[in-house]
Structure 1
Amino acid sequence: MPLFFKRTSQIQVIIALRCIAIAIQLLLIFFVNLGLAYQLPWMPLISVIGLEVLFTLASYSYYRLNHLSENKASQKAILVQICADIIFLSLLLYFSGGATNAFVSLLLIPIAIAAVTLTPLLLAVVTVLAISSYSTLLWSLPMSVMHGNMQGHFIGMGINFLFSTMVVAIVVGKMARSINQQDLAIAAYRENLLKQEKVTSLGVASAQVTHQLATPIATVQLLADELSEDFPDNDIVIDMQSQLIRCRDSLSDFRTMVFDIKEQVIKSINCQDLFEEITDNVRFNNPEITLSLREDFNHHSAKSVSVKADAALLPAILNLINNAIRASKANDNLSMSLSSQVIDDNWQFTIRDYGKGFTLKKLNELGVKPVSSEQGFGMAVFLSHASLESLGGKLALTNHQDGGALVTLSLPISLQQTSRP
């Protein structure tokens, strides 16, 4: 069944179909007995239908009060409903002609429903039950109907039913799983498009702000130059000039990064060089932070381990580090741990802060969409997650058992000799 049906909705559909089937069963019994003057055993048939009505009412009441949201529980619930339908239908057929009943092919309907709602293993259970029911109906036929060549006829009917059940179970099940996979792929593609639209909007906004900052920074630079001429040895003026130079260099780096991203420039970068560049950046911009560093290339030569990177990789990592620093400071701690290691042909870079960690809600939302936060975690993690995905990387957010948060990014490595400057 398509993805837009929830598991509870599937059960409701099955119950609704059973209600329709009960109404049709009663009409057929009255029509055969009164219209065609064919005497059927009223008591057994009405008793079976009565049990079917009671089971339907009990199921409806139960699922109305206890909505099954977990996938495993829902699968079991649907299996119970389908098996019950097979049993009720088999009993009705048994008391109304058995395998000679013209409606015996209705046993294929539960298999078709199971093919589009259940897993292959549970579908096999339903198929075996339907085949067993039909075999029992054939076996219970009286010997009086086996005269002449009717025995061969019933054997052919059994083979035909077995073949039909296999075709329905395999073909319909495969088609349903194929449609389900296509729906999942379309949903993932749409989600990725929405994420890329958000990233593009944030990029456009960042470019506009950067362009607007260029003019006032240039103006302040001119004023600082004039002040340096009047006060060449003033520490405040010297510090102001150094900060302006940092702003100017940052704008220049941003323009270069935007150009590289636009041209989709991908280059190989040595993991040890990248790790050193990250730690140098942290020490330069946050000298008050105490860093704990760890490198483990797992028997690989440090010079040979590299990853494919674009201009957005380093800013994405620095975004995550800045978040970790803010988290540690908010918890009155000036420590942070960084590790670089190779695990299963993937370079893993781990950031551990000493803050208060992530809440369960934050763990479910961070990286999926921009999240409002007093410390600004949501936007940076969202952008970093999008940057890593474009490189085939992964981002994992967890809480450390001893406190604080763990952010682990993973990128596939390429074992090539890279020249180091």
Structure 2
Amino acid sequence: MPQFFKRASQIQVITALRSVAIAIQLLLILFVNLALAYQLPWMPLVSIISLEILFTLSSTFYYRRYPLSEKKASQKAILVQICADIIFLSLLLFFSGGATNAFVSLLLIPIAIAAVTLTPLLLSVVASLAIASYSILLWSLPMSVMHGNMQGHFIGMGINFLFSTMVVAIVVGKMARSINQQELAIAAYRENLLKQDQVTALGVASAQVTHQLATPIATVQLLADELSEDLPDNNIVIEMQSQLARCRNSLNDFRAMVFDIKEQVIKSINCRDLFDDITDSVRVNNPEINLQLHKKNTPDSTKTVAINADAALLPAIINLINNAIRASKANNSNALSLTSQIIEDNWQLTIRDFGKGFTLKKLNDLGVKPVTSEQGFGMAVFLSHASLERLGGKLALTNHQDGGALVTLSLPIAAKEIPSNKQVRSESCLT
């Protein structure tokens, strides 16, 4: 039985509980009529229980034939089931003593279920229906039972039911929402921890590869130096030395970046200077790209806003741009659009490629976990997403209405504003 409640949806649990309640109702009717010799109206009670059985079977077959998209049932479906329980129970009570029935307090059970499963607005609907049902049962009592102090007694019962309904709805509802929030927080923490473990594993692997590359690069550099002595004007040797210099600089930059990340070095970067560094990197490494630049809500030229960043920010942005360039080229296009703007208290950079866009599955997976793709999407986006999250930033992936993909990253603006000049940029921006 506990395993059933773990696997079943909320609708299945409610219908199962109603099935148990129907069996108990039939047993109680037989017990009262046969054992206690108390004559109850058979026809109305059996008719109501028959309708209840028919409704339960219909609900079971309907949700089995048309299963819900999620394990958690929709709020409207649960509301219909709970309201049906209140109506069936109220009708049974009406034909078996009304408010004088000892089981009238069972009307609180649907309220407790609603407090756990429904939103506060829908919970108020269920509570109102239960209060209205109880009030009708009170008003329908014959005058013969109102003799003496019984009228005050029934008024007290009504007040007690109203108070009990409020306590169950408020207390149980608040506790259920608190537990749900704690579960969501724990799930988010576990997901973030798993993501950080993956990032750490990728970082360790990258450091190992970098260490292994250092020795062969140094060996090739020695060979290139010897060749340059013998062939000082050879273009191939000159190009080889140039590419080896780029490899050495990249390794040194990677070591410096790892050290800054390890020491959690956070610096203020001028947004305008960072955007200029990004565009310069694109033009140098991809001169064939037709770069479209847009600057919106840009402050004046003497002072611009700044953001807090670590050493991984610029490589993270370049990774996203390189992915966009590959997507555009895969669609036979050399266009790329970059938009820098200030929105409220965030600096926002929008990267639009002119490729085929994201598929629905990619939109769900990119940034959450590494995925494979023909254009190399996935790993870079995953690492860039982790880098932005460390700085309190956000990464949004969408498709543009005119074709291509949109990658929008936003970072909170630092309280400090720094001037835009080359000296600040050389000290703050990444190599």
Does the CA contact (< 8 Å) of 1:8 and 1:68 recur in 2?
Answer: no
**Aligned-pair Cα RMSD in Å:** 1.7
C-alpha distance in 2, partners of 1:335/1:208?
Answer: 36
The code of the aligned residue for 1:209 comes to: V
Partner SS for 2:392: coil
Alignment partner of 1:88 is 2:57: no
Matches within 5 A, 1:125-136: 125-136=125-136
Alignment partner of 1:353 is 2:353: yes
The code of the aligned residue for 2:126 comes to: V
Partner SS for 1:121: helix
Shift of 1:344: 1.2
C-alpha distance in 2, partners of 1:300/1:181?
Answer: 44
Partner in structure 2 of residue 140 of structure 1:
140
Shift of 1:302: 6.5
Partner in structure 2 of residue 196 of structure 1:
196
Q: Indicate how the Cα distance of structure 1 residues 398 and 275 shifts in structure 2: closer, same or farther if over 3 A, else same.
A: same
Matches within 5 A, 1:141-156: 141-156=141-156
Shift of 1:417: 3.3
Alignment partner of 1:259 is 2:235: no
The one-character-per-residue Cα deviations of 1:291-348 (angstroms, maximum 9, x if unpaired) are 1112223445573211000000000001001111111111121221112111112111
C-alpha distance in 2, partners of 1:11/1:402?
Answer: 42
Alignment partner of 1:98 is 2:98: yes
Partner in structure 2 of residue 381 of structure 1:
381
Partner SS for 1:113: helix
Does the CA contact (< 8 Å) of 2:398 and 2:406 recur in 1?
Answer: yes
Partner in structure 2 of residue 365 of structure 1:
365
Does the CA contact (< 8 Å) of 1:8 and 1:67 recur in 2?
Answer: no
Does the CA contact (< 8 Å) of 1:316 and 1:384 recur in 2?
Answer: yes
The code of the aligned residue for 2:25 comes to: Q
Q: Indicate how the Cα distance of structure 1 residues 301 and 11 shifts in structure 2: closer, same or farther if over 3 A, else same.
A: farther
Q: Indicate how the Cα distance of structure 1 residues 78 and 162 shifts in structure 2: closer, same or farther if over 3 A, else same.
A: same
Shift of 1:251: 0.3
- 5+ residue gaps in structure 1? none
Does the CA contact (< 8 Å) of 2:9 and 2:71 recur in 1?
Answer: no
Partner SS for 2:287: coil
The one-character-per-residue Cα deviations of 1:363-386 (angstroms, maximum 9, x if unpaired) are 111111100112111100000001
The code of the aligned residue for 2:170 comes to: I
C-alpha distance in 2, partners of 1:211/1:72?
Answer: 49
Partner in structure 1 of residue 186 of structure 2:
186
Shift of 1:70: 6.1
Q: How many residues align?
A: 418
Q: Indicate how the Cα distance of structure 1 residues 54 and 158 shifts in structure 2: closer, same or farther if over 3 A, else same.
A: same
C-alpha distance in 2, partners of 1:5/1:214?
Answer: 58
Partner SS for 2:122: helix
C-alpha distance in 2, partners of 1:301/1:6?
Answer: 61
C-alpha distance in 1, partners of 2:40/2:279?
Answer: 87
C-alpha distance in 2, partners of 1:415/1:21?
Answer: 62
Does the CA contact (< 8 Å) of 2:299 and 2:305 recur in 1?
Answer: no
Shift of 1:69: 2.2
Shift of 1:406: 1.2
Does the CA contact (< 8 Å) of 2:9 and 2:72 recur in 1?
Answer: no
The one-character-per-residue Cα deviations of 1:117-154 (angstroms, maximum 9, x if unpaired) are 11111110000000000000000000000000000000
Does the CA contact (< 8 Å) of 2:9 and 2:73 recur in 1?
Answer: no
Alignment partner of 1:411 is 2:411: yes
More displaced 10-residue stretch of structure 1: 399-408 or 319-328: 399-408
Shift of 1:72: 10
C-alpha distance in 2, partners of 1:93/1:63?
Answer: 29
Does the CA contact (< 8 Å) of 2:10 and 2:72 recur in 1?
Answer: no
The one-character-per-residue Cα deviations of 1:244-268 (angstroms, maximum 9, x if unpaired) are 0000000000000000000000010
The code of the aligned residue for 1:81 comes to: Q
The one-character-per-residue Cα deviations of 1:32-86 (angstroms, maximum 9, x if unpaired) are 1111111111111111111111111111111110112269972111111111111
Partner SS for 2:52: helix
Does the CA contact (< 8 Å) of 2:366 and 2:382 recur in 1?
Answer: yes
Partner SS for 1:417: strand
Partner in structure 2 of residue 58 of structure 1:
58
More displaced 10-residue stretch of structure 1: 328-337 or 242-251: 328-337
Shift of 1:415: 5.0
C-alpha distance in 1, partners of 2:370/2:38?
Answer: 70
C-alpha distance in 1, partners of 2:343/2:262?
Answer: 32
C-alpha distance in 2, partners of 1:231/1:214?
Answer: 25
Does the CA contact (< 8 Å) of 1:270 and 1:303 recur in 2?
Answer: no
Partner in structure 2 of residue 323 of structure 1:
323
Shift of 1:7: 11
C-alpha distance in 1, partners of 2:200/2:6?
Answer: 33
C-alpha distance in 2, partners of 1:173/1:334?
Answer: 56
The one-character-per-residue Cα deviations of 1:153-202 (angstroms, maximum 9, x if unpaired) are 00000000000000000000000000011111111111111111111100
C-alpha distance in 1, partners of 2:300/2:414?
Answer: 11
C-alpha distance in 1, partners of 2:248/2:179?
Answer: 54
Paired-residue identity, %: 82
Partner in structure 2 of residue 238 of structure 1:
238
Partner SS for 1:295: strand
- 5+ residue gaps in structure 2? 424-431
TM-score (norm 2): 0.94
Does the CA contact (< 8 Å) of 1:267 and 1:308 recur in 2?
Answer: yes
TM-score (norm 1): 0.96
C-alpha distance in 1, partners of 2:302/2:19?
Answer: 69
Partner in structure 2 of residue 393 of structure 1:
393
Alignment partner of 1:111 is 2:111: yes
The code of the aligned residue for 1:396 comes to: A
The one-character-per-residue Cα deviations of 1:358-416 (angstroms, maximum 9, x if unpaired) are 11111111111100112111100000001001101011111122221111110011253
Q: Indicate how the Cα distance of structure 1 residues 208 and 387 shifts in structure 2: closer, same or farther if over 3 A, else same.
A: same
C-alpha distance in 1, partners of 2:297/2:45?
Answer: 74
C-alpha distance in 2, partners of 1:164/1:283?
Answer: 71
Does the CA contact (< 8 Å) of 1:85 and 1:110 recur in 2?
Answer: yes
Partner in structure 2 of residue 306 of structure 1:
306
Does the CA contact (< 8 Å) of 1:8 and 1:69 recur in 2?
Answer: no
C-alpha distance in 1, partners of 2:272/2:256?
Answer: 23
